[in-house]
């Protein structure tokens, strides 16, 4: 945001550092869909799609996501936002 009278960029306040939502709150952030294929499956989380070669590997990641949502979201954002 700019203060055009003084031509200075004004920083917007950000979320409190150190804030970590509960697993329940983080899980409510994105819709999760599974699509099983003849080999493996596709997991859709929000607008991102992740393909897995095996259902077992997908379920392992999904369980990690459910049990430790915030940290797993950070890991996958790093991988998918490249």
Mean pLDDT: which of 4-8, 19-23, 57-61 is highest?
57-61
DSSP strands (E only) in the chain: 2-3, 8-9, 32-36, 41-45, 48-52
Q: Is the pLDDT of residue 9 over 80?
A: no
- pLDDT per position as a tens digit, 46-64: 888 999 999 999 999 999 9
Domain edges within the chain = 18-80
CB 42 within 8 A of CB 52: yes
Per-residue tokens: 65: 């996501």
Q: Is the pLDDT of residue 79 over 70?
A: yes
Lowest mean pLDDT across 3-17, 42-56, 57-71: 3-17
């Amino acid at each position: 945001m700019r203060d055009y009278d003084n031509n200075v960029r004004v920083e917007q306040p950000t979320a409190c550092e150190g804030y970590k939502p509960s697993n329940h709150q983080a899980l409510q952030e994105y819709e999760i869909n599974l699509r099983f294929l003849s080999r493996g499956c596709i997991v859709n989380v929000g607008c991102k799609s992740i393909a897995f070669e095996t259902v077992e590997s997908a379920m392992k990641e999904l369980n990690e996501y459910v049990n430790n949502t915030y940290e797993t979201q950070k890991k996958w954002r790093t991988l998918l936002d490249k």
